[in-house]
Amino acid sequence: MDFDLTKDQHDIKQAARDFAEGEFPSIAEECDHQEKYPRDLVKKATKIGLIGINFPEQYGGSGYGYLEKCLITEELWRVDPGLGSVVISATFGADMVQLYGTEEQKKKYLIPLTRGEAVMGSAITEPDAGSDVSAISTEAKKEGSEWIINGNKIFITNGSVASYFNVICLTNPDNPSRHRKHSVIIVESDREGFGATKIYHKLGIRASDTAELYFKDVRVPDENLVGEEGKGFYQFMEFFNRTRIHVGAEGVGIAQGAMEKTITHAKTKIQRGKPLASFQAIQFKIAEMATRIKAARNLVYEAAFKADKGKLDYKLTAMAKWFAGETGVRVAGEAMQIHGGYGYTGDYHIERFYRDAKIIEIYEGTKEIEKIIISRALLS
């Protein structure tokens, strides 16, 4: 087994680090406090190829894989999770188009993302359908060559800024299987009857846009159907088996950033005439942080590596997402503890990491759902 990154991978990681360290610090606090989505940042990221790195070259990408996208994700979240989310989520939904889209759909929806002309979203969650995706009731009825969509979605990333969304809709309500009733349809945000209301006062990742979506007799052409009618549930499960690898990388990045801030603080903060870092209780906490991060990173990289080799392992992906999410939350919590009152009041930005970390245990499958996936795979 070779655990070393290639030169290309090192260069990609370094480019992401340079971008984050150069662009994020001056706007991070403002975007968090004012819940401001920095559209320009996405455009800047496209210019150096950070967006769509894993798209094939004919669709504007660089032809790299899940591992390279993980390296970027980790570096961006290490510096600021909210802004990291803005950049990484700009293509949230592209994997669905790559996996199931027609040639026309790939050209139409992937290329604008890599040029910074569009941002994408994926609309699954509804007020009465979160973890249970099969309960989705947003309805799409076929009329001639069009779909007419009615319903609403909640907590949608990029909801009020995206140009288009993968929307999972109930298209075959009479199918006896609860997993064969849905289809994925792309809805452009400029269609009549589409509306979005931004959600404010989130706990964390406040630079990232989150909105509620409304569909009132929204008409889209049949050509916007992605994949097969009635297979939307399965398509989204396959989609999440891939995108969750990157959510794992978010956990690794946030934990790494929180630990680095903590090491700096522990070496400089004087208590009883000595730096905090001289106390064994603090040393042990830092040793535990580093060990958990290493274990989480190895899980995430292995999941990405396998996906890139065409040997996607959904159990491993679920392990990586759950463990890296928990690592992000734990490490940010210990980082806050070691920063004491200075962490709590925000002077060292550690409180932002503490707030931002929790989302990783909630979106794209809660930690409980990940454990269900893992245990089912082991026990079935």
Ligand X SMILES: Cc1cc2nc3c(=O)[nH]c(=O)nc-3n(C[C@H](O)[C@H](O)[C@H](O)COP(=O)(O)OP(=O)(O)OC[C@H]3O[C@@H](n4cnc5c(N)ncnc54)[C@H](O)[C@@H]3O)c2cc1C
Shortest reach from residue 63's CB to ligand X, in Å: 26
**Binding residues for ligand X restricted to 90-149, rule: CB under 6 A:** 92, 121-125, 130-131
What is the DSSP-derived secondary structure letter of residue 313?
-
In Å, how far are 77, 246, 318 from 379, measured between CA atoms? 34, 26, 15
Shortest reach from residue 367's CB to ligand X, in Å: 7
Compare residues 15 and 372 and give the one whose CB is closer to ligand X.
372
What is the residue type of 197?
T
Among 359, 360, 373, 374, binds ligand X (CB under 6 A): 359
Residue range at the interface with ligand X (CB under 6 A); choices 53-61, 172-180, 272-280, 359-367: 359-367
Q: Provide the 10 A C-beta neighbour count for residue 311.
A: 9
**Per-residue contact track with ligand X, 45 to 74, x per CB under 6 A?**
------------------------------
136, containing H or E segment: none
112 and 90 Cβ atoms separated by less than 8 Å:
no
What is the residue type of 195?
G
Compare residues 99 and 287 and give the one whose CB is closer to ligand X.
99
**Active-site residue flag, 364:** yes
**Per-residue contact track with ligand X, 155 to 174, x per CB under 6 A?**
xxx-----------------
Where are the extended beta strands (E) located within 135-227? 139-143, 146-157, 164-170, 182-188, 194-198, 210-221, 225-226
Return phi, psi of residue 171, to 5°. -115, -20
Shortest reach from residue 197's CB to ligand X, in Å: 14
Q: Is 30 in the site for ligand X (CB under 6 A)?
A: no
Kindly tell me the sign of the dihedral angle through the C-alpha atoms of 216, 186, 363, 138.
positive
DSSP secondary structure string for all residues of 111-126 = HHHHTTS--EEEE--B
Q: Which of 23, 361, 364, 370 is catalytic?
A: 364
Among 206, 363, 373, 374, binds ligand X (CB under 6 A): 363
Active-site residues, by number, are: 364
Note the residues at the interface with ligand X (CB under 6 A).
92, 121-125, 130-131, 155-157, 202, 205, 210, 359, 362-364, 366, 368-369, 372
